[in-house]
Amino acid sequence: MAQQEQWKSKIGFVLAAAGSAIGLGAIWKFPYVAGTGGGGAFLLLFLVFTLVLGMPLLLGEFMIGRMGQSNPVQTYGKLALNPKWNFIGKLGVFTSFLLLSFYSVVGGWIILYIVKLLSGGLAGLTQDQYGELFGDIISNPYPTIAAQLVFMLVTILVVAQGIQKGIELASKVMMPALLLLFLILVIRSLSLDGAMEGVKFLLVPDFSKLTSESILFALGQAFFTLSLGVSVMLTYASYLPKTQNLPQSAISIIILNIVIALLAGLAIFPGVFSFGMEPNAGPVLIFSVLPAVFAHMPFGMLFFLAFLLLFLFAAFTSAFSMIEIIVSAVTKNDASKRKKSTWIIGMLIFIVGVPSCLSYGVLADVHLFNKTIFDLMDYTVSNILMPLGALLIAIFVSRKIPREDLFAELKQGSNVRYTFFSICYFLLKYIVPIAIIVVFLDAAGLSDWIIALFK
């Protein structure tokens, strides 16, 4: 087999994995699903799911990724000594393909916003006008498709270069910049009139607002933001030397991810309440609130431009990881095939994404299962395929790999305590699968039926 690529530095891996995690999920999606799902109660659930289910899963993917030193598909068969287990990797590759097809649509929206801002079209509008502008921008077929294409082309160009030159270098500079800008933004938002209402909405849980569906969304969101269940983290860990401290890397990524989601919430909800908007406005939320927040500060548009660029960058580093695993699966780590495969895969993803792109415009009336094409794609990936992948990975790691092998792997490069390992192992073996199954059944409305059966 071809020589496995390797990360250049320890921090490079953490930044790249954090780059995969932090993206549209924490910045764009988290505020709006939290807004729709009940604010504080949703946040709390999201945190619990992240720590109790996300953390062991992330470690699980890291352990078997580095252990297998292979691609996302063959790692499973190689470790289980039976190729039939490769289906978990194949499912991940398929999920990643669908995911990038609509993720790139939102990436395109950010590009269009940047173009709009540079042409002076964003300054000095009223709150309502920002909302309308977003609607106009995303419903226009040609520019949105063109922007989605640009997003895919950049992704292809970077990933075709190979992981080291592309992903690692880019992540090193941009992640710290993103954090800094978010901090400025939050300070600004908190100083708006009525900001505290927004802070309360985000931080004070009101459990009466939770529904089975919002619990499923919180679960999906926890996996989505950590890029779990797709074998992305497994693939990134396969490029690691044995000296990397896996628990420390996982914890840093989780903390960074939570911090960014919290900052995004704190940047947005004060604005929502201060401007008298609805927190459950949906995907438009960040695009209509933030320009208004920025518009009222000195050099606002300059800051907004910086924000959009970093936001776009965060989306790119996630997109790189999605296409990377498909490329890695297809080329089986043969570097000579990388360029061509990346181009073919990237273009296919673009084509599959076009209907999602149009579903905010000319295809807006096309509904399947009561959802637009875009929403259906997102729902299928985030709330069905990713939790399903996570379930399979949890079962695979905890039941197919001997416990002592896992601990031995985790210990390399770290002096992790056995207790910590045991807790994660227990969570992975029992709690993660049970939680995912229960949330699935509950959201499918089956729980009442099952309870009735046992009465």
Q: Give the residues lining the site for ligand PFF (CB under 6 A).
A: 20-21, 23-26, 96, 99, 224-225, 227, 230, 232, 318, 321-322
In the complex, least distance from residue 290 CB atom to ligand PFF, rounded to whole angstroms = 17
Length of the chain: 455
Least Cα distance to 431 among 30, 51, 16, 37 occurs for 51
* Shortest distance (Å) from residue 23 CB to ligand PFF: 3
Whose Cβ is closer to ligand PFF: residue 133's or residue 390's? 390
Return the percent helix, strand and coil in the chain, to nearest 5: 80, 0, 20
Rounded CA-CA distance 212/446 in Å is: 11
* CA 401/CA 411 separation, integer angstroms: 15
Q: Would you say 265 or 413 has its CB closer to ligand PFF? A: 265
Q: Which residues lie closer than 8 Å to 449 by C-beta, 6 or more apart?
A: none
Between residues 107 and 413, which has the closer beta carbon with respect to ligand PFF? 107
- The structure tokens 């399979």 sit at 392
Q: How far is the CB of 314 from ligand PFF (least distance, A)?
A: 7
Nearer to ligand PFF, 192 or 226 (CB): 226
Closest-CA residue to 103 (of 167, 25, 30, 220): 25
Measured distance between the N- and C-terminal CA atoms of the chain, rounded to whole angstroms: 57
Least distance in Å: CB of 439 to ligand PFF? 18
> Cβ 336 to ligand PFF, closest distance in Å?
25
Quick one: 70 or 317, whose CB is closer to ligand PFF?
A: 317
Q: Which is nearer to ligand PFF, 114 or 233 (CB)?
A: 233
Distance of closest approach, residue 325 Cβ to ligand PFF, in angstroms: 7
Residue at 113: amino acid letter? Y
Task: Identify the DSSP state of 2.
Answer: P
Smallest distance, ligand PFF to C-beta of residue 286, A: 13
Which residue of this chain has its Cβ atom nearest to ligand PFF in the complex? Answer: 25
Within 13 Å, how many C-alpha atoms sit on residue 184's CB side?
Answer: 15
Q: Which two tokens stand for residue 201?
A: 């909405």
Separation CA 123–CA 142 (nearest Å): 24
Give the helix/strand (H/E) hosting 368: strand 367-368
Phi, psi of 372 (to 5 degrees): -70, 170
* Contact of 317 with 172, CB cutoff 8 Å: no
- Residue 225 or 238 having the CB closest to ligand PFF: 225
User: Residues 54, 223: contact at Cβ < 8 Å?
Assistant: yes
CB of 84 to ligand PFF, least distance (A): 23
Contact yes or no for 324/232 (Cβ under 8 A): yes
Given the complex with ligand PFF, which of 195 and 375 has the nearer CB atom? 375
Nearer to ligand PFF by Cβ, of 88 and 192: the residue is 88
Cα–Cα distance measured from residue 433 to residue 453, given in angstroms and rounded to the nearest whole number? 22
| Lookup: tokens for 198 | 């927004």
For ligand PFF, give the closer residue by CB, 14 or 133: 14
- Residue 381 CB, shortest distance to ligand PFF, in Å, is 8
Residue identified by tokens 């939102």 is 106
Long-range own/partner contacts, residues 437-446 (CB < 8 A, 24 or more apart): 437/391, 439/215, 439/216, 439/219, 439/387, 440/216, 440/387, 442/212, 442/215, 442/216, 443/212, 443/213, 443/215, 443/216, 443/383, 445/212
Of the pair 33, 149, the CB lying nearest ligand PFF is at: 33
- In the bound complex, what is the minimum distance in angstroms from residue 257's beta carbon to ligand PFF? 8
At closest approach, how far in Å is the CB of 335 from ligand PFF? 22
